[in-house]
Structure 1
């Protein structure tokens, strides 16, 4: 029997998840139409009914309301199992779902939000992760639009049940807006951008305490959007008039600089499929054998006129969300710095290359060993060191960029940045990431002006 849930290629094996749900639906078919049994289902029967109802909701739009009423009547776990099934389908099947099933997925997500189902916040996050950066296909823009509308329409429910998920929505849509605002206007995109702007501004103005949960990366994302009037006004208040946010204790943007961004936010802009491929590359592929894997990854995820912007998010993921254990670090497995070097060399557009470098060095600027991990700053250091002899231009451009950030990133708070960068260098030596900074300061192939700039930096904090 052909699948009504996913698209299956002619030579593709049946998907186990889809097959299990479909077989349960077919087996329980007569029990899924009214009048429903009044008997309380046994635990195993309850789980089977959840599976069958879910399949019915996704594959029978005309009976979806009936299926949901059935679920409401039998639910005994706060919808926890049903939501877990939904998250699993999104995580493992979303790209393969037929469009009608995707429409139903949004519909049933709204139903779960309405009843404050256990785990509905994870459900919303799983959908946010399926929005692909740099993808302007109708299907991807449709998902952007539907989710932005959902967050706005269900605002009160979300605030009542799981308000923190709004910080995830803010992170995702600030990043997406940076891409969407660079594309030539069309009617659909203009409407989408309006919804995205309205959502982000609403969160920042009405629930600023949730914005603080994001930490320093909130500033990194906002800086890409200051050309939009609404965000220019917010930026002005952040820098000049922070009391406008009516949040006790918030008095300066530097307080955001000091808050490390959790990896859960960084993961929002990496799809689960992309994450699994990156983790495979950084866990199982040996250094020297990575070329075909990198070519496959590039064809799969980075080919397309606007996909290059994804490199910013991938580098941030590698620095902040993939911290390999010592046995991997000490093995011959492809190191993080080598993948980042490849990604940097893949950049063809100057402003994207600059954003990738900022993504790589961002934690250096505000590094505090009491709250930050040396693993976040390690890749940039090792990329500079390992590139010195074979790829000197890479070390040059990275060190030059870092020194420029010191002087120009936030001139009014240069002392904070100077302290962060100098702490980064010190901790990298103390933790044994490199033996000594002499590898840079005494290197004969580096430009004298860069070595002098580095020496001045190191002397200024002694």
Structure 2
């Protein structure tokens, strides 16, 4: 029997998950029609019934209501196993599913939310991960519309059921997507979508800011990209000038957000599971010097459409903050994180994307606190600057200059906090032996006199122990 679940090409191998669901359905199909047996299934029968019913719901839309009633009647584990199956389908098969199956997937997701199925939050997060940034295809915009509709209609329900993780995940995703969607002006097919995304995010920020605060400093980074949107411009002004407008007693200044590290789970939200698997393979299996064909394949697969170039911003945040290699990998000849980021940076076609990739690379530097932040988040930028000398000296030049401009201009009112953060990052990188000294950067001739003066002053004024005359003698790790 041909699969009614996924599109299979002649040269594709069978998918074990699809085969498992289909075979369960074929075997139990007579039991999936009323009247249903009254016997209590064994554990094995229960598992197979869950698989068969899920296949029936996804592939027989006209019988979906019968299948879901059957499911409700047999459930003994709070839908835990069933929901885990749906999540597997989303993570492993979503890109291959027939459109009609995708529609059923959203339908059954609504059902799982309505019955408070165990794991429904994980299901919603899995679906959010399937929305691809910079992708304006009908299917991707449809999924985005369906998901923002769920969150808009169920927002208060999620608050009442104490599901903050799923709400802050949605906020992160839709803020990030809005940066892409708002670039498309006067496009009728996404105007309604943009309005729903804006309304959801603004309501969250205005009414549940204490919850939104859990996102951490990357919330500020995302809001910066939306400052041209009137609703977000007003929020931005209140963040800077009128924090009491958010009616959250513990929030008195934006610096509190700056100093709150963003959990790595948020960065996974903008990387599909397939993309994550390929990136982790590249960063754990491919040797330095052999990466070109893998990078070319990855670029064609995930970044081939010009609009998807903004994905590089999310990939850099993922590599810096969500992929921390083991010491064995670090000490091997596997391609290091900084080299992959260098490739992404050099391949940027648009200046605005290039600037945002650099900001993604340096963002944790600006507010770095050794007690809160992880040195692995700042390591790639340092190694990229150092290892680009002398072969790719232009990379070192643009990165170091960008960092110094950030220090001077990112938030003038809180410049001391930023100088402290960047200085602390440099100090720890030397102290932990990521680099033996900062000599290569301090003596870097391509810096303009102004930027060289800013760099030297940062260490002379703030960190006398790392001034030029002492830095070369610092021990390695």
**Shorter-chain TM-score: what band?**
over 0.9
Choose 96-105 or 69-78, whichever is displaced more: 69-78
Please tell me whether the aligned partners of residues 7 and 98 of structure 2 are also in contact (alpha carbons under 8 angstroms): yes
TM-score by length of 1: 0.98
> How far did 1:457 drift?
0.9
> How far did 1:413 drift?
0.6
Residues 341-380 of structure 1: pairs in structure 2 closer than 5 A: 341-380=342-381
Residues 361-440 of structure 1: pairs in structure 2 closer than 5 A: 361-440=362-441
> How far did 1:187 drift?
1.6
CA distance in 2, matches of 1:336, 1:368: 22
CA distance in 1, matches of 2:65, 2:207: 34
Question: In structure 1, what is the equivalent of residue 196 of structure 2?
Answer: 195
CA distance in 1, matches of 2:249, 2:118: 31
- CA RMSD between the two structures: 1.1
> How far did 1:155 drift?
2.2
**1:153 pairs with 2:170:** no
CA distance in 1, matches of 2:279, 2:380: 15
CA distance in 2, matches of 1:450, 1:239: 27
Please tell me whether the aligned partners of residues 131 and 140 of structure 1 are also in contact (alpha carbons under 8 angstroms): yes
Please tell me whether the aligned partners of residues 440 and 451 of structure 1 are also in contact (alpha carbons under 8 angstroms): no
CA distance in 2, matches of 1:211, 1:181: 21
**1:70 pairs with 2:70:** yes
**1:244 pairs with 2:229:** no
Q: 1:409 to 1:109 in 2, by over 3 A?
A: same
TM-score by length of 2: 0.95
Please tell me whether the aligned partners of residues 397 and 446 of structure 2 are also in contact (alpha carbons under 8 angstroms): no
Partner SS for 1:28 = helix
Please tell me whether the aligned partners of residues 401 and 447 of structure 2 are also in contact (alpha carbons under 8 angstroms): no
Question: In structure 1, what is the equivalent of residue 127 of structure 2?
Answer: 127
Question: In structure 2, what is the equivalent of residue 20 of structure 1?
Answer: 20
**1:141 pairs with 2:141:** yes
Please tell me whether the aligned partners of residues 290 and 334 of structure 1 are also in contact (alpha carbons under 8 angstroms): yes
Any unmatched runs of 5+ in structure 2?
464-477
Question: In structure 1, what is the equivalent of residue 471 of structure 2?
Answer: none
Question: In structure 2, what is the equivalent of residue 276 of structure 1?
Answer: 277
User: For 1:425-458, what per-residue CA distance to the aligned partner results, in whole angstroms no more than 9, with x for missing partners?
Assistant: 0000011000011121134565554433221111
CA distance in 2, matches of 1:417, 1:407: 9
Please tell me whether the aligned partners of residues 283 and 333 of structure 1 are also in contact (alpha carbons under 8 angstroms): yes
Please tell me whether the aligned partners of residues 365 and 420 of structure 1 are also in contact (alpha carbons under 8 angstroms): yes
Partner SS for 1:123 = helix
CA distance in 2, matches of 1:18, 1:203: 38
> How far did 1:184 drift?
3.4
Please tell me whether the aligned partners of residues 134 and 311 of structure 2 are also in contact (alpha carbons under 8 angstroms): yes
Partner SS for 1:332 = coil
CA distance in 2, matches of 1:163, 1:335: 35
Partner SS for 1:184 = coil
Question: In structure 2, what is the equivalent of residue 458 of structure 1?
Answer: 459
User: For 1:107-152, what per-residue CA distance to the aligned partner results, in whole angstroms no more than 9, with x for missing partners?
Assistant: 1001000111111010000000000111100000000000000111
CA distance in 1, matches of 2:333, 2:11: 36
Please tell me whether the aligned partners of residues 114 and 157 of structure 1 are also in contact (alpha carbons under 8 angstroms): no
Partner SS for 2:215 = coil
Any unmatched runs of 5+ in structure 1?
none
Please tell me whether the aligned partners of residues 396 and 447 of structure 1 are also in contact (alpha carbons under 8 angstroms): no
